[in-house]
Structure 1
Amino acid sequence: MTKSAPPVPLSRNRDYTLLWAGQACAEVGFSASMIAFPLLVLALTGSAAASGLVLAADAVAQLVAGLPAGALVDRWNRKLVMLVCEAVQAAALASLVAVVLWEVATIPHLVAVAAVLGTCRALFEPAEDASLPSLVPDSQLATAIAMNSARSSVGQLAGTALGGVLFAVARWVPFLLDLVTHVIAFVALAFVRLPRRAAATGAPPDLRREIAEGLRWVWRHPEIRVTAACALSLNLFFSAYYLIVIVLADRRDIPAAQIGIMAAMLGVGGVAGSLLAPYLHRTLSPYLSIVGVFWALTALAPIALVVDNGYLMGLLFAGMALLAPTANTTITTHQLLLTPDPLRGRLSGVMNVVVGAAGALGPALGGLLVEAVTADHAVLLCAAGMAGVTVFVTANRTLRHYPSKKGTPE
């Protein structure tokens, strides 16, 4: 009896490498645009509210499109969805480069472009997530997820730095970078060989029914339902905490340059954590992988009260980000292996909406807390919120028995 050949290492997996490299470029361009958008609006209008409106358009578009996008990704050709998203984003950015270059940019145009970008990401992310198990073997899925997380962190770090520098060269240059990176991503994706999926059978397409089916799938599986609730709660408090600590640093007269480095260290921690995640995922039990990040955040959060140096606060942020990729790798790997292929887009859509809602509400909560109480007390309130979630996670029976192997789809 002949033994099957071991799987090809990810570094030699042609299709995964093409997808990863193309999206790494796109992540850099996206982060450059996201830092350039508010700078451009401020240069045009001087209005912080208008800057917030443009960024909110991107976030709201992702939230509104999230659930329908997951259902559509499960219905349509996923590679074609990703290609169209890249092409549409490139076209939207080309229009933005043109109006900024010709000095005829308007706020409605910027809002429209931001909404288009947000909608395309709402479609692209579930399509990529759902396609990943078709590109890599099950044994390498956790490593692939961790590498995708590292890709996002590196892209955020590099793109944020480049966006500010390129905006100083000319207002349209960061958006040109984003345009070029999406063209590169489109070309790379065009050469990815994604296995053809079986044609859908049964009842005629009904978007509302398909969305409801995805929601029922999430609700019927306690480990997915509980981890979604935990992700929502923890991201809500951490997003609020992040804003509060930035305000706290400013009120302690920490220099702006140190605050910038402090924020960047969150990405450094994410990159380091993503590189450690495959090893920790294999070494730790799923329960410890998930609970560990909650306890780390709970233990580290109050330290901001006694640190008055931007570099030390940066190390604090790096430490808080270190274990998150391991928990994300453990949770996402199990969810993708548990979920049948025809439902994977909807699973990703639901989870993206959960995380996106927390990311949108968290800064608002942080702002309200800073207005209502002192920054020090706001830090304590967020730390208490994290502690409450941590106690729930630690005691939760579902998480204590979190599966360590592939589940059987129902």
Structure 2
Amino acid sequence: MSSTNAPTPLGSAFRLMVLARTVAWFGTAVALVAFPLVIYRTTGSAAATALLTAVESAPYLLFGLFAGAVADRWRRRPTMVVTALAACAATASIPTAYWMATLSTAHVFVAAFVSAAAMVFFDAAGFGLLPSLVPRARLADAVGRQTAMATVITMAGPALGGVLIAASSPFAALALNAATFAVTAILLLWVREPTSAPRTEQPHLWRDIGNGVRFIYGHPLVRLLTLIGTGNSVAGGIMTGLLVVTAVERYGVDEDGGELGLFFAALGVGTLISTALLPRLSRKFTAGTIAIAGLLVQAGAISVWILATVPVLGVCALVVFQTAASTVIINGITVRHLVTPDELQGRVNTTARMLAWGGQPIGAGLAGALVGPIGLPATLSLAVGVIAANALFAYLSSLRAVSSQLHSNSR
């Protein structure tokens, strides 16, 4: 094959940014086990454990619009550095307070909220930085590679978190999480951010927010995939909010052992599989078909998760669930990157993610409120209902028609 047909390299700046984000995601994956276990150990409450998931998810709902707008106004790389350091400080405060014997449950909730809020701005800047580092023709490859690289590390994170907790405590895992945020900030200092084209109009915060919202509302495919993402995340909030409780109470997993980390690692395996599947699926099927199929597979996997009691079946159900859920998510992200103008990348992607992921704290909050009165199986069954309703909405909408047009244009 001639060199003229060789794909344009993604570049060293892209690779370094992916490495930095992967390190941050690794630490976050370790903390995925540690944070809920700290609350479950100290309170013994399923409701409080689910509430923590809601608290960690809430910043996207509260700050998503603002973060997207300011990320398109600020330099993106420095924004990522500062917010990574803020997340480091918030997370490090928990093991520090524990070792000083001053830690309270309220402290854990506040630190989790502050760390998650910092990462909202971190992600908003990252959404805008990625398209500026790679050729537009290779954007889908870049999104897939970033997700795949991060997911490989994320798979090991929960398992390592379980090992650390078994050998030491969840506070050691949170200390590692804080350290990864610091390493992320250092790595990002070496990323060379391209100079953005000067704005032709004076920045105005609310106008910038409005432009992002109007683009999402005005683009039929982005609008529909965002709505589908909201329902997807409500079900995801129910699942993740009760994952520790389900693993311990239904599957008999020892909360002090490393086996619990395998349940979280299963989510990483599912995401990795989805990164390999989506490019192949995208070449054969439209974004609408992929979204509908992903929702139907999720409904089946959650049903198995509810009915099974053998840990191996539970882990397999989580892998299938997360494969389908991540396929729906990455499908929407890729479409947004492809159709959104560069000057709107930060606010459109963060706003869409806020609207889509805003369902997660709602789902986790519902799980925390209902698990006591109606029980664990009935609460988890709500996730099946949400996904089924979401699939029906997607099928009856214009999703398949508008996604077919994009699929034809991209050929």
TM-score category, normalised to shorter length: 0.7 to 0.9
Matched, 1:363 2:364: yes
Matched, 1:179 2:163: no
Matched, 1:295 2:296: yes
Corresponding pairs, count: 402
C-alpha separation in 2, matches of 1:79 and 1:142 = 21
Structure 1 residues 284 and 353, CA gap change in structure 2 (3 angstroms): same
C-alpha separation in 1, matches of 2:84 and 2:367 = 34
Matched, 1:124 2:125: no
C-alpha separation in 1, matches of 2:133 and 2:270 = 28
Query: Which of 76, 82, 85 is matched with 1:84 structurally?
Result: 82
- Deviation track 1:318-339 (CA, whole Å, cap 9, x = no partner) reads 1222234443333222212221
C-alpha separation in 2, matches of 1:369 and 1:41 = 18
- Deviation track 1:112-141 (CA, whole Å, cap 9, x = no partner) reads 433331221110111111121111222322
Instruction: Specify every segment of 5 or more residues in structure 2 that has no aligned partner in the other structure, as ranges.
Output: none
- Matched AA of 1:311: V
Aligned twin of 1:228: 226
CA contact under 8 A between 2:148 and 2:272: conserved in structure 1? yes
Matched, 1:16 2:17: no
- Matched AA of 1:211: I
- Matched AA of 2:192: R
Aligned-pair identity in percent equals 26
- Matched AA of 1:132: L
CA contact under 8 A between 1:126 and 1:349: conserved in structure 2? yes
Matched, 1:197 2:196: yes
- Deviation track 1:354-406 (CA, whole Å, cap 9, x = no partner) reads 23321111123334554454655555554233222212212322333311267
Structure 1 residues 383 and 177, CA gap change in structure 2 (3 angstroms): closer
- Matched AA of 2:178: L
Query: Which of 57, 62, 65 is matched with 1:64 structurally?
Result: 62
CA shift, 1:284, in A, is: 2.6
Instruction: Specify every segment of 5 or more residues in structure 1 that has no aligned partner in the other structure, as ranges.
Output: none
CA shift, 1:23, in A, is: 1.4
CA contact under 8 A between 1:126 and 1:345: conserved in structure 2? yes
SS of aligned partner of 1:337: helix
TM-score relative to the length of structure 1: 0.84
Aligned twin of 2:161: 163
C-alpha separation in 2, matches of 1:129 and 1:213 = 17
Alignment of 1:298-309 (within 5 A): 298-304=299-305, 306-309=307-310
C-alpha separation in 2, matches of 1:371 and 1:17 = 46
C-alpha separation in 2, matches of 1:377 and 1:370 = 8
Structure 1 residues 108 and 330, CA gap change in structure 2 (3 angstroms): closer
SS of aligned partner of 1:404: helix
TM-score relative to the length of structure 2: 0.84
Structure 1 residues 400 and 306, CA gap change in structure 2 (3 angstroms): same
C-alpha separation in 2, matches of 1:281 and 1:370 = 38
CA shift, 1:19, in A, is: 0.9
Structure 1 residues 270 and 366, CA gap change in structure 2 (3 angstroms): same
Aligned twin of 1:386: 387
C-alpha separation in 1, matches of 2:229 and 2:235 = 10
CA contact under 8 A between 2:234 and 2:360: conserved in structure 1? yes
CA contact under 8 A between 1:223 and 1:399: conserved in structure 2? no
More divergent stretch after superposition (307-316 vs 258-267): 258-267
SS of aligned partner of 2:277: helix
CA RMSD of aligned residues (A): 3.3
Aligned twin of 2:407: 404
C-alpha separation in 2, matches of 1:76 and 1:132 = 15
CA shift, 1:50, in A, is: 7.0
Aligned twin of 2:7: 7
C-alpha separation in 2, matches of 1:308 and 1:252 = 6
Alignment of 1:270-281 (within 5 A): 270-281=271-282
CA shift, 1:219, in A, is: 1.0
C-alpha separation in 2, matches of 1:133 and 1:108 = 39
